[in-house]
Amino acid sequence: MAHVLRMPGVAANDTEAVLAEWIVQVGADFAGSDVLATVETDKAAVDIEADDAGVVLHTLVPPGAQVEIGSPIAVLGAPGEQVDDLDALLAELGVAEATDPVVPERRDVPTDPESGAPLAEPSAPAVEERAPTVVEEGAPAPVSKPNNGRIFASPLARKIAKDAGIPVEEIHGSGPRGRILRRDVDAAVAARADQPTTPLVEQRAPASVAETPTTPLVEQRAPASVAETPAPTKQPPPTTEAAYTDTPHSRMRRAVANRLQESKREAPHFYLRASLRVDKLIALRAELNDGATTRVSLNDLVVKAVAAAHERVPEMNVVWTAEATRAFSTSDIAVAVATDRGLLTPVVRDVGSLSVTALAARVADLAARAREGKLKQDELEGGSMSVTNLGMYGVEEFAAIINPPHAAILAVGAAREEAVVEDGQLVVGQVMRVTLSVDHRPVDGVVAAKWLAAFSDLVEHPLRILA
């Protein structure tokens, strides 16, 4: 039996989300647990899975639309179900009513013109009469007048246009009935970025010509400069700005920026640093990887050592809340992963209970799905500490910003050969520098120092990590 699929609440406190992509198209069958669509939140792209087998009868929201939580996004049916009268079905399900102000903007999504708003047809001639003047300005909006002068654009397109400072009236819509889509706004932003230098050249050139009547005075006073007077008109116009391209902020980039800004503003950071001998840690990794199918990285061993240090100093396994300091019974550690869409920090649950190889497999899986945008929301929440590693880029040492609501983040540098003193003798050893950033609200300096000492001991005696 046909039923409505609504936008799920994929993240706490969210009131809306972006329907990024339909995976199953209209008329296609799907099985239980199949992914129907991908929804974009501030942190990741989350899959909407089907509860049972069925068929997609109709989609109510186009890709890229920003939708309120709980709003209808599609009509699903039982396997093999077909619909003869779609309008009647929509009316029966209560999704064809125009009471919701978002519906009129989405009714024009179907490609069949007859399924759109009926008021669009009578006003078409009036739009055509006004079009010539608008077309010359490069911003036609042919369907912006049907409904009391309203411009049809997806909410996401409107938001991006507003952030870029471009009125939607100046953007040409390429969607059904001239609807303005995200790609139209992106094209307008790119076009505007290419324009600034051209009009400046054209406007300044006439001004320099207008100044030429003053040259007779120059000829009377300074004949030697007469030959120089034509030069200004032939010189290229001065360039005061370098060429640039503006990339509109994505939801994830804004979320990361806001979260880190909040962290530096709200959490009083303090920093502890240590230089660790990792010769034995590197040797242990080589032994673990010898003939193994699952490869263990140095970072995997570092994450394992973080969990072991939490067991030794449980006062570090906490977060700050408005009412209390919350202590955890398991060590859930977040691992920073760089993706094309921004930085993500998936959380590995109960690291202390995992073997090193199981931990390596779990981290590899989370990192792969983070880069593909396939993480679930609960995989991005929780934990008390993050681990971020830039050693693979040759970075020796750096300090990181705490990822709220965590109490700390460990920044790991590269393992490098350095001269070290061992038993009074100067020898070459593998050294790795780490920086621990700590939130001073739930964690005192002494607690952080004890934790870093425990962590250093585990790294320099790595067999204790496996115990």
pLDDT tens digits for range 160-191: 888 888 888 888 877 655 768 777 888 888 88
**Pairing assessment for the beta strands 54-59 and 3-6 based on DSSP bridges:** unpaired
Residue 56's contacts (CB-CB under 8 Å, 6 or more residues apart) are: 24, 25, 26, 27, 28, 30, 36, 74, 75, 76, 77
| Domain formed by 119-193, architecture | Irregular (4.10)
Instruction: Assign a CATH topology to domain 3-97.
Output: OB fold (Dihydrolipoamide Acetyltransferase, E2P) (2.40.50)
Cα–Cα dist 62/106, whole Å: 8
Phi first, then psi, for residue 65 (nearest 5°) are: -80, 145
Q: What does the block give as tokens for 295?
A: 């490869």
| Domain formed by 269-466, architecture | 2-Layer Sandwich (3.30)
**pLDDT of 53-83, one tens digit each?**
999 988 888 888 888 778 888 889 988 888 8
Q: What is the pTM of this model?
A: 0.58
Backbone dihedral region for residue 373 (phi beyond 0: left; psi -120 to 50: alpha; all else: beta): left
Give the residue from 111, 105, 112 showing the smallest Cα distance to 143. 105
Mean pLDDT (whole number) for 332-347? 90
Cα–Cα dist 239/186, whole Å: 26
On the question of pLDDT at 364 being above 60, the answer is yes
- Supply the Cα-derived Rg of the chain in whole angstroms: 31
Q: What does the block give as tokens for 149?
A: 């002068």
Among 40-44, 196-200, 323-327, name the one with the lowest average pLDDT: 196-200
- On the 0-12 / 13-18 / 19+ scale of CB atoms within 10 A, 229 is middle
Ranges of CATH 3.30.559.10 domains, the chain: 269-466
Say if residues 77 and 59 touch (Cβ distance below 8 Å).
Answer: no
Phi first, then psi, for residue 264 (nearest 5°) are: -70, -30
Question: C-alpha distances in angstroms, 361 versus 45, 268, 375?
Answer: 22, 35, 15
Task: Give the pLDDT band (50/70/90) at residue 47.
Answer: confident
**Pairing assessment for the beta strands 45-49 and 35-40 based on DSSP bridges:** antiparallel
Give me the percent of the chain exceeding a pLDDT of 90.
39
pLDDT given at position 185: 83
Ranges of CATH 4.10.320.10 domains, the chain: 119-193
On the question of pLDDT at 134 being above 60, the answer is no
70 three-class SS: coil
Cα–Cα dist 467/465, whole Å: 6
Element (H, E) at 466: helix 463-466
Residues assigned a catalytic role: 440
Say if residues 336 and 455 touch (Cβ distance below 8 Å).
Answer: no
Ranges of CATH 2.40.50.100 domains, the chain: 3-97
Q: What does the block give as tokens for 453?
A: 């000492």
Say if residues 359 and 350 touch (Cβ distance below 8 Å).
Answer: no
Q: Which alpha helices (H) appear in 345-462, and where do they start and end?
A: 356-372, 445-460
On the question of pLDDT at 281 being above 80, the answer is yes
- Alpha carbon distance, N-terminus to C-terminus of the chain: 56
More confident residue, 199 or 337: 337
**pLDDT of 215-258, one tens digit each?**
444 444 444 444 455 555 556 666 667 888 888 887 778 888 88
More confident residue, 66 or 299: 299
Say if residues 259 and 403 touch (Cβ distance below 8 Å).
Answer: yes
| Contacts for 200-209: CB closer than 8 Å, 24+ residues apart | 200/237, 201/237, 204/237, 205/237, 208/232, 208/233, 209/233
Strongest mean pLDDT among 2-6, 97-101, 120-124, 157-161: 2-6
